[in-house]
Structure 1
Amino acid sequence: MGELSARGLRADESEAFFGVFSDAFLNDSLRSAAAGGLYGPTFRLERAHGVFDGDVMIGGTGRIEQEITVPGPAQCPLAAVTAVGVAPGNRRRGVLTALMRAQLDALHGNGTPIAALFASEAGIYGRFGYGIASYESHLVVPRGAAFLPTVEVDDRRIREVDREQGVEIARARYSAVAADRIGWLSRSDGSWEARVLDWPTVRSDLGAPRFAVHPDGYAIYRAKREWTPRGPAYQLHIAELVATTPQAYAALWRYLLDFDLVAEVHWRKAALDEPVLGMLANPRAVDRRVLDALWVRLVDLDRALMTRRYAAPLDVVLDVTDRFCPWNEGRWRLRADASGSATATRTEDAGHVSLDITDLAAAYLGGSTLAALARSGRVVEHEPGTLVATSRAFATDCAPHCQEGF
């Protein structure tokens, strides 16, 4: 085995890159899907990195440049990390560490404040400074599930439209909502196709995307046909559901739940506090599973902390450890005013709260509280009262949520 080296990739190395990705996940369909434009124009190979054993690529990681809505709400540049893989037979050689090192150094160099990913295995990315910043609910709701009588359903007609019309309508509705929803991503040219409409095509058991359009929202869903000796038992799989009013949200759910031939409605990327959970007359009717979703990495702590807004005034010194990105390590004074705007500057003052960068990342979007992390022994308070004040300043009214994969 030769000496390992990590570097940025050239445009002619696409086949090798996606070959490593496909082999790492033991999924040949990823190779063909990638060759056919799985990531679309949003993915540029010159932003990817590879690790080489001599001339052979044995590991790779890419990123998509987006913006993410952070508490405020405010828009923050994001490196959406994707296609991370190490070729079989090369584990335990430091390949992933070299990939993360190269990628985070590049992000630090170009000024990207935060990175995020969906982790294939939950034990991998904490050692590189990523923390669980949001959770998602996998929901299965039976057909016909009744709402509480207090739920107001907009009775304006919902209509099915073709893909061209659906995308045009969805673009406008999504833009009106995404800027206020913590964890939602911007969608540049190609994002709709790559991450929403065509991404699930690797699941061959689902039909083409269908569009249910309301004057104040839309649902994109796919059908899984199923026939049993007792009759039809189709599943509807929600890819995305967006509404600008609670009444439109209720109407879209009612439409899906009352569909003929259907036994269940599935949504694998619902929010932790998805409103439908509080709308049902019988909440036990829902089969719900909660899993980690976005893992966030604060690449440059000061710029990341100053991009978001805070729920209460704050003046605290954070003593931060960051073994993988030493430029973040040390004591930082975080000051937030009554408007929520903040400054983060280095200081020699004693720390009020000690924590690792992973824990700061976990609290960054409001998905975890610093107070809860302290109860787990991960955050330490040195000045009485500062932990609660800091935790409340980082808190948000709604759980962060990202309803698309990358």
Structure 2
Amino acid sequence: MLYQVKQRELTIHEFVFLNEEARQGLWTFLANHDSMVDKAIVTAPIDDALPFLLPNPRIKQEIVPYFMARIVDVKSFLEQYPFQSSHTSSKWIMDIKDEHAPWNNGHWHITVNENGQAAVNRWEHQPKENLPILSCDIQTLTAIMTGYQRPKDLHRYSRLGGKEEQIAQLESIIPVTTTYLLDFF
């Protein structure tokens, strides 16, 4: 935990724990400083359970977008991405639009094996009708791959094109994670 107490205000910059016992221990440590503070400010991921765990959660919560992410090299990124393991391999063509990095533009043939490892190659031909086609811009792809948004939601908002079946397949191999970067640079 990184924190500071200044002018009766406790500011917690980083709060990381590995299990519930550690979380409770850190909060107990902070609670022991109650005579020194009138207010606490905590920076936490969006899915932090603190409001649920408080007996009377009358706290002010604020969502503050901090970082913007961008996939710079689609092929390298997807080949290193830890897709969810599944019983079968997945194959599709993804049409990506990227106005600032033309090397990402175009159709990409993506195969994810049962172990979650992807092979990605530029698809120079017209997409065959028997291969599923998904389409999005680089911002949408980045939001999906960083865990910020789910494929089914972006499809509902018309940000991810494709048939329901292909969206469900992509949904099943993208791990559910919380986007949270506590490093400042």
Q: Same fold (TM over 0.5)?
A: yes
CA distance in 2, matches of 1:312, 1:369: 17
Specify the code of the residue in structure 2 equivalent to 1:352. I
Change (3 A) 1:274 1:334: same
- Correspondence for 1:261: 36
Paired residue for 1:344, among 112, 120, 136? 120
- Correspondence for 2:70: 297
- Correspondence for 1:315: 91
What is the CA deviation profile of residues 124-174 of structure 1, one whole-angstrom value per residue up to 9, with x for unaligned ones? xxxxxxxxxxxxxxxxxxxxxxxxxxxxxxxxxxxxxxxxxxxxxxxxxxx
Q: Shift in Å at residue 251 of structure 1?
A: 1.3
CA distance in 2, matches of 1:356, 1:261: 50
Residue 248 (structure 1) aligned with residue 28 (structure 2): no
Q: Shift in Å at residue 286 of structure 1?
A: 2.6
Q: Report if aligned partners of 1:257, 1:265 keep a CA contact under 8 Å in 2.
A: no
- Correspondence for 1:334: 110
- Correspondence for 2:6: 224
What is the CA deviation profile of residues 56-107 of structure 1, one whole-angstrom value per residue up to 9, with x for unaligned ones? xxxxxxxxxxxxxxxxxxxxxxxxxxxxxxxxxxxxxxxxxxxxxxxxxxxx
Paired residue for 1:389, among 147, 169, 175? 169
- Correspondence for 1:364: 145
Specify the code of the residue in structure 2 equivalent to 1:296. A
User: What is the RMSD computed on CA atoms of the aligned residues?
Assistant: 1.8
Paired residue for 1:271, among 45, 51, 64? 45
Specify the code of the residue in structure 2 equivalent to 1:299. V
Q: Report if aligned partners of 1:315, 1:336 keep a CA contact under 8 Å in 2.
A: yes
Point out the structure with the larger strand share. Answer: 1
SS in structure 2 opposite 1:277? Answer: helix
Taking structure 2 as the reference length, the TM-score comes to: 0.85
Map 1:2-401; keep pairs closer than 5 Å: 219-225=1-7, 234-259=8-33, 260-268=35-43, 270-282=44-56, 284-313=57-86, 314-347=90-123, 348=125, 349-350=127-128, 352-381=133-162, 383-396=163-176, 398-401=177-180
* Alignment coverage as a number of residue pairs: 176
CA distance in 1, matches of 2:59, 2:84: 32
CA distance in 1, matches of 2:120, 2:164: 21
CA distance in 2, matches of 1:401, 1:244: 16
Between 1 and 2, higher relative CO (CA 8 Å, sep ≥ 6) is seen in: 1
SS in structure 2 opposite 1:304? Answer: helix
Q: Shift in Å at residue 312 of structure 1?
A: 4.5
Change (3 A) 1:292 1:312: farther
- Correspondence for 1:41: none
Residue 405 (structure 1) aligned with residue 184 (structure 2): yes
CA distance in 2, matches of 1:328, 1:401: 25
Q: Report if aligned partners of 1:369, 1:395 keep a CA contact under 8 Å in 2.
A: no
CA distance in 1, matches of 2:19, 2:180: 18
CA distance in 2, matches of 1:307, 1:354: 20
Taking structure 1 as the reference length, the TM-score comes to: 0.41
Q: Shift in Å at residue 321 of structure 1?
A: 0.9
Specify the code of the residue in structure 1 equivalent to 2:64. L
CA distance in 2, matches of 1:364, 1:221: 31
Which segments of structure 1 move beyond 3 Å, counting only runs of 4 or more? none
SS in structure 1 opposite 2:69? Answer: strand
SS in structure 1 opposite 2:2? Answer: strand
Q: Report if aligned partners of 1:320, 1:330 keep a CA contact under 8 Å in 2.
A: yes
Change (3 A) 1:276 1:336: same
Change (3 A) 1:301 1:223: same
What is the CA deviation profile of residues 153-211 of structure 1, one whole-angstrom value per residue up to 9, with x for unaligned ones? xxxxxxxxxxxxxxxxxxxxxxxxxxxxxxxxxxxxxxxxxxxxxxxxxxxxxxxxxxx
Identity %: 22
Specify the code of the residue in structure 2 equivalent to 1:221. Y
Q: Report if aligned partners of 1:237, 1:267 keep a CA contact under 8 Å in 2.
A: yes
Specify the code of the residue in structure 2 equivalent to 1:374. H
Structure with larger Rg: 1
- Specify every segment of 5 or more residues in structure 1 that has no aligned partner in the other structure, as ranges: 1-218, 226-233
Q: Shift in Å at residue 362 of structure 1?
A: 1.1
